[in-house]
Amino acid sequence: MAIQRPKGTQDHLPSGSPKLSLDTRAAAFEYVRDTARRVLERAGAQRIDTPLFEEAELVKRGVGGSTDIVRKEMFTVYYFGDHGGYVLRPEGTAGIVRAYLQGGWKQLPAPLKVWLHGPMFRAENVQKGRLRQFHQVDYEVFGSTDPLVDAEAIALLVEVVRELGLKQVKVKLGSIGDPEDREAYNAYLRDLFTPHLERLSDDSKDRLTRNPMRILDSKSEGDQQLIAELGVRPMLEFLGEDAAAHFAQVQRYLTDWGVPYDLDPSIVRGLDYYRRTAWELHHEGVGAKSALCGGGRYDGLAEQLGGQAVPGIGWAFGIERLLLAMEADGVELPVSSGPQLYLVALDEENVPLAAKTALEARAYARAEFAYRAMKPGSAFKDAERRRAVWVGLIGSDEAAQGTVSLKHMETGEQKVVPVGELAAFLQKSDD
Ligand code: HAM
């Protein structure tokens, strides 16, 4: 058997491939990225990029030592049989904050909005919508704690999703407070769970000492049952005055702007850097456990990485999961058309002339040519498969007269056009 791609990865395929689904179609990824670009850049976000691998220490300190990502899902980078302490990035935010600090972005006007898209890597148990290499669109804002920034970030996310045609989506919004609120909540959870230690999964026993809030995010059914039985109080009840006022203001803006959301008093994100506003975007067709997008505020992260303090907030969605949701909602991508002009020689000696005419036509149109001669009937069939708008035939008469015999594939209109007038003719027919 030929070599296969690694488990948990996908090829992005050309349109028309057998076994094509929306989440493996290269053009669909492009469509999502273009839509996100349009919405985010309209709001002033600048496109950036960071390396696909980073210091393991960055991810450990950024994402957090008690998270599944750091404990179980890191891809270590080996080279020359050694590893220099690098890992493939499991998410974008820690690397972007590093780039902020290293690049001196503090001098740029705040709030500074940036976005990136690219592959992320997590060695997860592979299942539908859960890959080892997946792709995120990531939006981050630096330099402001204003609740306006939080509300705008959520509004932009909703706008991207709407422009993509998604219907059954819900923003679940909560707050995980300031560090002291979290400490109080963790103390409460520790007291609550400790008498039931023997019923917790091994992972959650470990979470109880490191970061009890993580227990609420457990994938173990036994843990979830215990959580339900104990009637755990939500994080929102533990918010301090400042965090509560901030959260109320975020909600006020969203309501005022007509951005729909559901309050989720017990939101727990899968990464440790969050504080205050946190949210996820869910879709009925993809399953309650799989968020399409996660985001929140992370004001302490820069300091945690050893840098100067700078407040930050952002979100990232997984393009594959978004495409699964679009498929579930029956969203159709705009059909990409074939070449505007498809040139075919009627005899072998005119193939180079058809090629040359196509190359020149690329100055003003999307033009392709056939690499071998064909009879008109085959040329029309071939042009139809390629969804060409115009097919242009070049035989010995056309070659002698410097013309192309054009036929419109949809209307059947026919016209002999001198090569020198092709540009004007195609432009006119486009209007
Ligand atoms: P996250 O919730 O870990 O947050 O991931 C964001 C999104 O990436 C998820 O909602 C999901 O759509 C997608 N995703 C995550 N893991 C996988 C996977 N194994 N397979 C397919 N898709 C996946 C973050 O990554 C944060 N950096 C978001 C953020 C940005 N917070 C602030 N700024």
369/389 Cα distance (integer angstroms) = 13
Distant-in-sequence, close-in-space partners of 367: CB < 8 Å, separation ≥ 6: 339, 340, 341, 342, 343, 358, 359, 361
Using only C-alpha atoms, the chain has a radius of gyration, in whole angstroms, of 28
What are the binding residues for L-histidine?
Answer: 91-93, 122, 136, 140, 269, 273-274
The proportion of the chain whose per-residue pLDDT surpasses 70, expressed as a percent, equals 99
Cα 85 to Cα 98, 124, 306: the distances in Å are 16, 20, 18
Q: Give the model's pLDDT for residue 95.
A: 98
Closest atom of ligand 1 to CA, residue 69: 3
402/395 Cα distance (integer angstroms) = 10
The CATH H-level superfamily of 341-429 is Anticodon-binding domain (3.40.50.800)
H or E segment at 72? helix 68-72
Task: Tally Cβ neighbours within 10 Å of residue 192.
Answer: 17
Q: Is the pLDDT of residue 429 over 70?
A: yes
Instruction: List, for residues 60-117, the tens digit of each pLDDT value.
Output: 999 998 888 998 999 999 888 787 899 999 999 999 999 999 999 999 999 999 999 9
Would you call 26 helix, strand, or coil by DSSP? helix
Q: How far is the CA of 128 from the centre of ligand 1 (A)?
A: 15
* Confidence label for 17 from pLDDT (cuts 50, 70 and 90): confident
* Confidence label for 333 from pLDDT (cuts 50, 70 and 90): confident
H or E segment at 344? strand 341-345
Instruction: List, for residues 360-382, the tens digit of each pLDDT value.
Output: 999 999 999 999 999 999 999 99
Cα 354 to Cα 341, 351, 421: the distances in Å are 11, 5, 16
Q: Which residues line ligand 1 (CB under 6 A)?
A: 91-93, 122, 124, 129-131, 134, 136, 138, 140, 270-271, 291-296, 298, 314-318, 320-321
pTM for the model stands at 0.93
Mean pLDDT of 306-314: 97
Q: How far is the CA of 136 from the centre of ligand 1 (A)?
A: 7
**Class in CATH terms, 22-177+239-328:** alpha beta
CB 200 within 8 A of CB 190: no
- Class of residue 382 by CB neighbours under 10 A (exposed 0-12, middle 13-18, buried 19+): middle
Q: What is the 3-state secondary structure of 190-240?
A: HHHHHHHHHHCCHHHHHHHHHCHHHHHHCCCHHHHHHHHHHCCCCHHHHCC
Which of 98, 161, 271 has most ligand 1 atoms within 8 Å of its beta carbon, as the pocket-test mutant?
Answer: 271
Q: Give the model's pLDDT for residue 335.
A: 78
Dihedral in degrees, nearest 10, Cα atoms 181, 182, 188, 194? -160
Q: How far is the CA of 401 from the centre of ligand 1 (A)?
A: 61
257/228 Cα distance (integer angstroms) = 35
Instruction: List, for residues 251-305, the tens digit of each pLDDT value.
Output: 999 999 999 999 998 888 878 899 999 999 999 878 656 799 999 999 999 999 9
Q: Is the pLDDT of residue 431 over 80?
A: no
Q: How far is the CA of 393 from the centre of ligand 1 (A)?
A: 51
Q: Can you give the residue ranges of every domain in the chain?
A: 22-177+239-328, 341-429
96/321 Cα distance (integer angstroms) = 22
